[in-house]
């Protein structure tokens, strides 16, 4: 009970809400690096996933990326990226953290975009082609809208993983709320460490809820559960869900 009270006091202490190491600054750093990593990963992975799902070419690549993404631990990615970028890029811990989060976010986005487009009913696609629609029009006006819930589910998975994993960047002197956790353990201020963990958890939950609402708004309300189930693609690359 005392520990929980100490954590609450740390979170509400006005001195922890000001200065370059205050909660608002660290929270902004965490959100900024997480959003940028997710944005860059989306720019790269989403078009590739849509193209693979639309053309059916490069399926082995999509499956390989998905399997590699599942196999590599988050901390392992950071451990690989940090020494490779040390002394090469400015911002001691910022860019290793950004690159690691970027790589972490790619597999769910790529996989869900590919599986979502691939699982659009082929008869519907052929009917659209028979009406004179070009391949680009079929993708933009038919396949992407129908695959949108699954695409957003991939973004949701990546976003939550990135927000949670950004905490590990503090080990490499990266930005964000993880600094409170690391500094708290170093100085034996457990209330500070627990407060940082609470802030990360709340941010991850809010991210999950926001993308969950977006996904639900895009899901056709045709089934009894208001949710479409998507079959496995080739039995290997399955859509990511948060």
Name all domains of the chain by residue range, CATH numbers in brackets.
22-218 (1.10.3720.10)
Alpha-carbon separation of residue 206 from 102, 143, 203, 211 (angstroms): 20, 29, 5, 9
**pLDDT(153) > 90:** yes
Residue 108 near residue 161 (C-beta atoms within 8 A): yes
Question: In the prediction, which pLDDT does 91 show?
Answer: 65
**pLDDT(75) > 90:** no
Q: What is the mean pLDDT of the chain?
A: 85
**pLDDT(72) > 50:** yes
In DSSP terms, 237 is beta-bridged to 233
Which range has the top average pLDDT, 14-23, 64-73, 117-126, 171-180?
14-23
Dihedrals φ, ψ of 233, to 5°?
-100, 105
Residue 153 near residue 241 (C-beta atoms within 8 A): yes
């Amino acid at each position: 009970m005392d520990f929980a009270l100490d954590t609450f006091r740390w979170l509400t202490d006005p001195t922890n809400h000001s200065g370059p190491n205050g909660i608002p600054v660290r929270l902004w750093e965490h959100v900024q690096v997480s959003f940028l990593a997710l944005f860059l990963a989306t720019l790269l992975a989403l078009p590739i996933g849509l193209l693979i799902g639309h053309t059916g070419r490069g399926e082995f690549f999509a499956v390989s990326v998905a399997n590699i993404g599942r196999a590599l631990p988050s901390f392992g990615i950071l451990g690989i990226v940090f020494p490779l970028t040390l002394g090469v890029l400015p911002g001691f811990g910022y860019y290793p953290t950004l690159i690691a989060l970027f790589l972490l976010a790619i597999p769910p986005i790529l996989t869900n975009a590919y599986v979502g487009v691939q699982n659009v009913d082929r008869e519907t696609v052929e009917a659209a082609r028979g009406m004179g629609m070009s391949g680009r029009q079929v993708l933009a006006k038919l396949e992407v809208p129908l695959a949108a819930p699954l695409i957003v589910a991939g973004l949701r998975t990546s976003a939550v993983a990135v927000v949670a994993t950004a905490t590990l960047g503090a080990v490499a002197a990266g930005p964000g709320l993880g600094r409170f956790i690391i500094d708290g353990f170093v100085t034996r201020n457990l209330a500070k460490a627990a407060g940082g963990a609470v802030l990360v958890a709340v941010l991850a939950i809010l991210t999950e809820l926001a993308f969950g609402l977006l996904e639900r708004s895009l899901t056709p309300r045709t089934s009894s559960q208001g949710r479409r189930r998507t079959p496995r693609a080739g039995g290997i690359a399955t859509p990511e869900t948060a």
